[in-house]
Structure 1
Amino acid sequence: MKKMYMENQHIVAGMTLQDQSLPEANNMALHVCQEKQDVLENRGRLAKFLNVSIHDFVCANQTHSANFHHVTQVDKGRGALDNADAIPETDALYTYEPDIVLCSFTADCVPVLFYNDKTGLIGAVHSGWQGTVKEITLKLFQHLQQAEQCDLADIHVQIGAALSQEKFEVDEDVYTKFEKLGYADDFMYYNESTGKYHIDNQLTVKKQCELAGIPSSQITIDRTCTFQDPAGFSYRQDKQCGRHLSFIKRKR
């Protein structure tokens, strides 16, 4: 079970969903699985749908960092069958190569998928709240602009399903980190009855894309809440839950 965000002659991108009829409810993450073989079976099903081998997947060991990695052909298969060879301490991947499936694993965190039709660039970002306050998405786009001479006006972004503002309830310490960004105030409110702050992580990430120079009209957000939707994996709801896999591939 999956949700498709883009499917045209150049790009295929989407997000796998929870499905109780599949092994481990279609969990895609090896680092939180009960049986490794179940996850590999789920990934294999996705690979077949994408018309690639599971060895074309590239996965990172996500640590809520602001680190990113330029994926090339030599990285194909990293983290696909075993976490041991996943790209270490990395939360964003990008490539210009066709037939490589970039993967981002989430369960409430914000997945960001992007592409540039003119250059063939594609990317996948994992931005939990810690990654957002570290500005991983903004820093990646700044890198692409400065080091890769990427015209950010040509980038299209899909922000995937994540924890909604209603359910993203935090204490003052997290609120303060977002406040220090200087541009997230419009995406936060205080609930006096609970003494909690509520933050819209998706809109904060969208703002980071806009600050980088990506036109607002080229940013799409899936407002599905992973906590409230039965097809969502939510760490906040269940610490033992599986993970969605947000994927993007450029066709040859």
Structure 2
Amino acid sequence: MKIYLNNEKFVAGMTLKDEGAPEQNNTALHVAKDPEGVIENRAKVAQFLEMRLDDFVCANQTHSANFYKVTQADTGRGALTQTSAILNTDALYTFETGIVLTSFSADCVPVMFYHEACGVVGVIHSGWQGTVKGITLHLLRHLVDVEKCDASGFFVYIGSALSQEKFEVDADVYEKFLHLGYAKEFMFYRAETKKYHIDNQKTVRKQCELAGVPHDQIFVDETCTFISAEGFSYREERETGRHMSFMMRK
């Protein structure tokens, strides 16, 4: 796995594709051919974190802009069965310690964040649909406006995702990004293929900045999930596993 942050207060990371693990280290039950193998892969993450799977919280992601405030009462949801996961949710946040928040992706942009002074951590799943719906911007503004967190205190980690070179789309998706009003600089047109190329990671980073997060407190992993041998890519192969991105306040 890849660790983005691990100190005395917070830990954030992302699992990687591994040919030697069950289902190549797929961690998502909704695409599992071997659910027991997926649970085994999740258990390795729990072991690394010195936590139990009962401390994990997972959502049934639907490419929405919905977010959910997690408490201790939610621990274990989605960790062992898909049916117990939080419904129709693509972002989770909590103020409580000892809860492992998770999101699952294969090309979509995973976002992990923390705010030390406010005591909040969160994860976001932002595929292109979530990005055009503004899920990251909506959640961060909620945390500022409703939870009263100072935007300048957020630290954000944007994990591996599909690169701009590999994220080619038709005009309909391009128009949706263009309609955001701030994504034009993150797109280009390739005449020979008649396709637009979009940088979803940079668009998400811009959403963080629009919410007030300082530019130098946003870290982007530019590893392409399509190109990397350690990446699961839905664009490359429709039947593929998923990375787990995780964030915890210790």
TM-score normalized with structure 2 length: 0.99
Separation (CA, whole Å) in 2 of partners of 1:31 and 1:154: 35
Separation (CA, whole Å) in 1 of partners of 2:130 and 2:122: 16
Deviation at 1:5, TM superposition (A): 0.1
1:26-49, Cα deviation, whole Å (9 max, x unpaired): 000000011110000000111011
| Residue equivalent to 2:137 | 138
1:186-223, Cα deviation, whole Å (9 max, x unpaired): 00000000000000000000000000000001000000
1:110-137, Cα deviation, whole Å (9 max, x unpaired): 0000001112210000000000000000
| Residue equivalent to 1:153 | 152
What SS does structure 1 have at the residue aligned with 2:43? helix
Separation (CA, whole Å) in 2 of partners of 1:120 and 1:38: 34
**Paired residue type of 1:209:** C
Q: Which moved more, 1:143-152 or 1:160-169?
A: 143-152
Separation (CA, whole Å) in 2 of partners of 1:250 and 1:143: 19
Separation (CA, whole Å) in 2 of partners of 1:193 and 1:238: 24
Separation (CA, whole Å) in 1 of partners of 2:48 and 2:156: 22
What SS does structure 1 have at the residue aligned with 2:23? helix
Pairing of 1:1-252 with structure 2 (within 5 A): 2-251=1-250
Separation (CA, whole Å) in 2 of partners of 1:117 and 1:136: 22
Paired residues in the alignment total 250
**Paired residue type of 2:184:** D
**Paired residue type of 2:43:** G
Separation (CA, whole Å) in 2 of partners of 1:39 and 1:248: 19
What SS does structure 2 have at the residue aligned with 1:38? helix
Deviation at 1:146, TM superposition (A): 1.0
TM-score normalized with structure 1 length: 0.99
Separation (CA, whole Å) in 2 of partners of 1:151 and 1:60: 27
What SS does structure 2 have at the residue aligned with 1:94? strand
Separation (CA, whole Å) in 2 of partners of 1:206 and 1:45: 30
Separation (CA, whole Å) in 2 of partners of 1:4 and 1:147: 30
**Paired residue type of 2:41:** N
Runs of 4+ in 1 over 4 A off after TM superposition: none
1:145-202, Cα deviation, whole Å (9 max, x unpaired): 1110111110000000000000000000000000000000000000000000000000
What SS does structure 2 have at the residue aligned with 1:25? helix
Any unmatched runs of 5+ in structure 1? Answer: none
1:43-89, Cα deviation, whole Å (9 max, x unpaired): 01110110000000000000000000000000000000001010000
CA RMSD of aligned residues (A): 0.4
Separation (CA, whole Å) in 1 of partners of 2:38 and 2:122: 23
What is the percent sequence identity of the aligned residues? 60
Separation (CA, whole Å) in 2 of partners of 1:142 and 1:122: 14
What SS does structure 2 have at the residue aligned with 1:246? strand
**Paired residue type of 1:229:** S
Separation (CA, whole Å) in 1 of partners of 2:221 and 2:50: 25
